[in-house]
Amino acid sequence: MFGHSFKLFNLFGFEVSIDLSWIFIAVLVTWSLAAGFFPYLYPHLPAKTYWVMGVIGSLGLFLSVIFHEFSHSVVARRLGLPMKGITLFIFGGVAQMGDEPASAKVEFFMAIAGPISSLVLGGIFYLLYVQGAAAGWSLPVNGVIRYLAYINVVLAVFNLLPAFPLDGGRVLRSILWGAWDDLRRATRVSAAVGSAFGFGLIALGILQLISGNFIAGLWWFLIGMFIRGAAQMSYQQLLVRNALAGEPVRNFMHPHPVTAPGSITLEHLVKDYIYKYHFKMFPVMDNSHLLGCITTRQVKEVPRERWSQETIRELVSPCSEENTISPETDAVQALALINRTGNSRLLVVEGNQLVGILTLRDLMKFLSLKVELEQ
């Protein structure tokens, strides 16, 4: 679901990250507020004031989304569901689960926690707005507070739409799951409803654009595209989990991988290994001892004229949790590691011994065959 993201901070044991797509949405929100929303509600203010209000309002939305997703994470953790952290991305955020909920009950309470927290926060901002109006606070200050009350209610109502993977869609899935005792069927139906909602929002956005309402039309169109794509992706992710769950890495790995001795030069590695076998990563051995691995990315960082002088032992990446995995590890966890690190090849290590290589291509071949035969 995500592109490139980077960590912002830790919040009560949860890692909060931001996807690069949030930069786009932050600019769009700020522009929408400064150029449309605030000038419409509070005319005749200086343009600079509108932009300051827009930036603060965008920051308030950012913090509101964190609060919303944090509520999901806290409830999920209390119900025994492992949570990896919170990632903010285009059109909101997501509390990253380590696995699917254990039961329909767990999913229901985890999903409903977010909208309830947004309604509570919206109520707090509304009371603050009423207090500010009575106390005579400045119009720009109270205007931003009013917006934050409004946007948190919108955030709650929008997330309650029965469009998977929004919170309302997860509530719908939990109800269907409880009724049918079939997670896959419940997910398929919920994802179909979510996809239909997304298509409807896309159509609404196009109508708004045709009628000349550019800002509203752009928002509805982009949100519809996101919901439709996310619904389809969520169902596909469940199929992948079901197909790979319980399958150990040992079943997919290459038990006799091509290895490179640490004593050879980079030039030797390129000519006799990379160009010959077409791999982007090679285990590096010193006799029977595993030193680590070397990648084409590391080779590229060395100037071409030094390839004949430097040995690969000088560049080898030592074994770590980022590039190694146990042969008994579940394939779902292996795929998650590949997605998180971007490494398409992993060293399969048992103790201190290299026993194989796991590649993303092998996982995908097995997945394709299993889905074709069993779905």
For residues 244 and 265, what is the distance between their CA atoms, to the nearest angstrom? Answer: 39
Instruction: Evaluate whether 150 touches 142 at the Cβ level (below 8 Å).
Output: no
Question: What is the spatial distance between Cα 68 and Cα 49, in angstroms, rounded to a whole number?
Answer: 28
The domain locations on the chain are 5-244, 249-374
pLDDT tens for 266-296 read 999 999 999 999 999 999 998 888 999 999 9
pLDDT of residue 69: 87
What's the CA dihedral at 3, 8, 9, 11 to 10 degrees?
-60
> Which stretches of the chain drop beneath a pLDDT of 70?
1-5, 84, 89-100, 375
Longest dimension (CA), the chain: 80
- Domain 249-374: CATH class, spelled out: alpha beta
Confirm if 217 and 207 have CB atoms less than 8 A apart: yes
Chain centroid offset of residue 33 CA:
26
What pLDDT was estimated at residue 2?
Answer: 44
Quick one: pLDDT at residue 12? 72
Please give the full DSSP string across 222-247, using - where no structure is assigned: HHHHHHHHHHHHHHHHHHHHHHHTT-
If we measure between CA atoms, which residue out of 266, 303, 330, 267 comes closest to residue 99? 330
Whether the full predicted model's pTM is greater than 0.75, yes or no, is no
Give residue for tokens 């949860």: 14
- pLDDT reported for residue 52: 96
What count of other Cβ atoms lies within 10 Å of the Cβ of residue 357?
23
Q: Are 8 and 16 in contact (CB under 8 A)?
A: yes
